[in-house]
Amino acid sequence: TDLARSAVKNMALKQDRDTERARQMNAIYTEMALSSVRERDTRARREREQLETVIKEATRDMHKQILDQREAVERQRQETKATEERVERMYSEIKEIRDGPS
């Protein structure tokens, strides 16, 4: 009976060691999985931040281009008006020369 008790005790100790080893392995695999998820989340967050930065920069650049185009259109409008005024003055001067002093 002592031999049987010793054998049961040894089996129980081995089972406890195996259970503890399995628990440790499970903890290691769980930590590896969590680490992988953290890395993936970090990578996704970094990519999202980079994309947001690119979008902000592109939006800012487009806004600047629109403002630049508006300024160019306004300058062109002013130049056109000045040209029209010169043409009208020249036309008046030509008419005055042709018709003589009034």
From CA 35, how far away is CA 37, in angstroms rounded? 5
Is 101 a residue whose pLDDT tops 80?
no
From CA 34, how far away is CA 49, in angstroms rounded? 22
From CA 100, how far away is CA 93, in angstroms rounded? 10
Question: With pLDDT > 70 as the criterion, what percentage of the chain qualifies?
Answer: 98
Q: What is the pLDDT of residues 42-87, one digit of tens each?
A: 999 999 999 999 999 999 999 999 999 999 999 999 999 999 999 9
Tell me the two tokens of residue 24: 């440790």
